[in-house]
Structure 1
């Protein structure tokens, strides 16, 4: 493409760099589109220059080789094959040392995109109406109420219990035992009643017994009100939490990406590639580069996009480039095929046009670029290329307004588990009641038999002694 003018045309090195520039067709007659062609038209029409595009064979920014030479954009610029780069390039220390840069056009950071995770059912939703901190407070409240009621009962028994206890030293063993049994039967099971009034009320279950004593009635009354409020809030949020979809991201920061060991697609000669080469061994960026499947190949953006959507590798690129891919796929299909992690692998970097150190164009380009940036024209042209990406940049579970997700069986697993747990607890309680009843009945039978044996022995002893006195009297 050329911009006709009587002055000699400038040669601009270009390569695909979404969303700034898309390059299709053969290298000798490329079809160029994106935000940067419109910006270049504004700049060079204002300055009065014509220009033509020169496609970089490697289609990369270029790296500095051990002998000091450069590949990609940088090599062509330093060999004077082109006058400047036609697309904004991320500025690194090495590039800034060897070439001149214009005023920055954009600021962007490098992140990673990967296949969009499938929305899953959350079977743990029945514990999510309250946060972990609230559940701990509820557990502490249950223990506190239980201990308080039990303490009041035990204190009351310690004060008035002696007056109800049979006096020691009664005339007969049988009478003492019978009185003791009567006292023991009239003494309540304080632990059982305390647990009943604490746990049963919290679970909104009916209680057949009434609390004894004003102190216990006040405590249970307050606990009844608190339990009502907690249960009302819990039930109101339970349904929403049970059917709320759960999204498990494979990674959401550079450290997690390095730990997964997933293959990564990284443009060769890019700013991130150069930063990775300078990173110390064992660093997060070094480990990410170790899994790259693209650095020893020619940059093939369509192949990188297909592999990312298919889940074959992670695509690492500037955020705006990933947003451009989202825009393209959503515009064509109406669907979002991948997500972008929330953190950056490489911090914010300036994107500028590259020039040679001795280039006279820097003084002309800088004022124009500064005014375009400050008036928002650069941002306007850029957003025209990625406006549909906003839909895919929303949280993954938030697209319900556009398309409702039908519920499946997994959405009700939490409900089934809740009901099954309640039924299991009821069954265990029933079996424990049966066992305790049989044990208690057996103990009472043994006690009755022991009492009957003792009473019979005493009666026989008295009868034998009485008979002995009678015989002695007759003999005398």
Structure 2
């Protein structure tokens, strides 16, 4: 801006420093806006100076070279090409050695901004109510309860159940106990009804305790899952410099800025050193619109003063009505003083300091600053507090995890069914072959049977007998007489054939009882 004054016009070097100064357009006809132009009008209108803007080549603050010279705004100040910067700059130790700072305008810290995370579909959301450790303990408890119920129930059945000298009762009890233990343990844990009640007080006590534990686990799980759906927790990609360094996200750093100069002095293995290594902007001229655009798109994290990030929040919210970025809670670089940086022999310092001090104490500086970022307050609220205002309907992706679990269970059931069918066919084939061989043997024996031939000794007393087994142990004699159609006798006394349904019934009964 040019003011009419008797004093010489000052040349002010400018570069973008949001929200204090926005510089757009060509270098020979820049478009300048922000809080700083209004402050400059107040200061130089009071002091009686006119001024004009000079766009700094590269539009960066300046970096000290190995030969001691400076680039950017500071270099132009020290070479006398401009009288002073047109915007406040962060004061660092190196800058303080070569320039004279004015009274501070603001105190600000450097942070990093990134694309604001949103609640999205989570395939594994149904397992999130419990941590991995809790799920592991639950699985161990489930297995422990299953073994306990099985042991207690088997002991009860062994003591209270019927005895069989051949051991069949014990085998039947084991099968029964295994089925019932699995049913009571897993069905109760999944909150499913159980058709059979446990027998015995000891078994009922164990099952009752597990019923209570399962009720607590199911209630807590459902409550946590409901809370996660009602007020979802958004996980931030990073919230401190260490997390930013470990995330591997590219960083946008203004060339010649205070952060750039501090990063050059940082050890490579430090958090700031690793952030510098991932920078994609230090070899290029400072392009603020590109930095903002790719930060919103999630291509890189933008490291800037907090005031600048607040200005970006204000601009995006004013244009879209949405908060598109977030700022991490910790600083990359501590609080720094923002001042006009002058030559050490400049007469302007003595004139500027009293005016700046009065503007700061009367709140004019803060007033002009707040005017540039008033819409940022909505985006500076905690992300969780905003989540309650906007509900996200469940979409298909939220159910993928459950569908996969159901499909896995159905696949396991199908495999089990096919194995049962295969085993059944195999056993049935073996049984048919065995029955066929036994039948042929018995038929051949029965067709050649004579009276008294079935058992090894004893007198038949003229009563016809037939052999119902091939083993001579525990052999019994059965009276055979004509009773059609249940039993028929044909043939000669030397070659008798006994047929009928009763013969087969005898064979089944006495095979089951162990008699021959």
TM-score relative to the length of structure 1? 0.75
Equivalent residue, structure 2, for 1:22: 22
Give distance in 2, aligned partners of 1:252 and 1:206.
Answer: 47
SS at match of 2:129: coil
Give distance in 2, aligned partners of 1:75 and 1:186.
Answer: 94
Aligned-residue offset at 1:412? 2.7
CA gap 1:411/1:52 in 2 versus in 1, 3 angstroms: same
Equivalent residue, structure 2, for 1:346: 333
Which segment is superposed worse, 390-399 or 133-142?
390-399
Equivalent residue, structure 1, for 2:200: 213
CA gap 1:428/1:378 in 2 versus in 1, 3 angstroms: farther
Give distance in 2, aligned partners of 1:285 and 1:317.
Answer: 13
Equivalent residue, structure 1, for 2:126: 126
Give distance in 2, aligned partners of 1:108 and 1:35.
Answer: 15
Which segment is superposed worse, 380-389 or 27-36?
27-36
1:46-89: CA deviations, max 9, x gaps?
A: x6343524324222211112221212221222233444333121
Q: Is the 8 A contact 2:130 2:221 kept in 1?
A: yes
Structure with higher RCO (Cα < 8 A, 6+ apart) = 1
Aligned-residue offset at 1:374? 5.5
Equivalent residue, structure 2, for 1:458: 473
Q: Is the 8 A contact 2:163 2:169 kept in 1?
A: no
Unaligned runs of 5+ in 2: 439-466, 478-516
Give distance in 2, aligned partners of 1:325 and 1:13.
Answer: 23
Q: Is the 8 A contact 1:323 1:389 kept in 2?
A: yes
Q: Is the 8 A contact 2:240 2:328 kept in 1?
A: yes
SS at match of 1:457: coil
Q: Is the 8 A contact 2:100 2:344 kept in 1?
A: yes
Aligned-residue offset at 1:32? 2.8
Q: Is the 8 A contact 2:90 2:339 kept in 1?
A: yes
Aligned-residue offset at 1:21? 0.9
SS at match of 1:413: helix
Equivalent residue, structure 1, for 2:39: 39
Equivalent residue, structure 1, for 2:73: 73
1:174-211: CA deviations, max 9, x gaps?
A: xx43xx33454456644443332221101122223221
Structure showing greater Rg? 2
TM-score relative to the length of structure 2? 0.70
Give distance in 2, aligned partners of 1:361 and 1:292.
Answer: 37
Equivalent residue, structure 2, for 1:300: 287
Give distance in 1, aligned partners of 2:407 and 2:470.
Answer: 52
CA gap 1:411/1:350 in 2 versus in 1, 3 angstroms: same
Give distance in 2, aligned partners of 1:195 and 1:120.
Answer: 38
SS at match of 2:471: helix
* Larger fraction in helix: 1
Q: How many residues align?
A: 446
Give distance in 2, aligned partners of 1:392 and 1:29.
Answer: 34
Equivalent residue, structure 2, for 1:88: 88
Give distance in 2, aligned partners of 1:144 and 1:364.
Answer: 83
Give distance in 1, aligned partners of 2:262 and 2:305.
Answer: 14
Give distance in 1, aligned partners of 2:144 and 2:359.
Answer: 68
Q: CA RMSD in A?
A: 4.4
**Correspondent of 1:334 among 278, 300, 321:** 321
Q: Is the 8 A contact 2:232 2:387 kept in 1?
A: no
1:354-378: CA deviations, max 9, x gaps?
A: 1233445545655654565466543
Alignment of 1:15-414 (within 5 A): 15-25=15-25, 27=27, 30-44=30-44, 48-58=47-57, 59-114=59-114, 120-153=120-153, 156=156, 160=159, 176-177=165-166, 180-182=167-169, 184-185=171-172, 189-235=176-222, 238=225, 254=241, 264-281=251-268, 283-310=270-297, 313-341=300-328, 343-362=330-349, 365-366=352-353, 369-370=356-357, 372-373=359-360, 376-393=363-380, 405=392, 407-414=394-401
SS at match of 1:68: coil
Give distance in 2, aligned partners of 1:457 and 1:108.
Answer: 106
Give distance in 2, aligned partners of 1:377 and 1:443.
Answer: 100
Unaligned runs of 5+ in 1: 167-175, 463-476
Q: Is the 8 A contact 2:56 2:73 kept in 1?
A: no
CA gap 1:350/1:332 in 2 versus in 1, 3 angstroms: same
Aligned-residue offset at 1:98? 0.9
SS at match of 1:388: helix
Aligned-residue offset at 1:256? 6.0
Q: Is the 8 A contact 1:53 1:86 kept in 2?
A: no
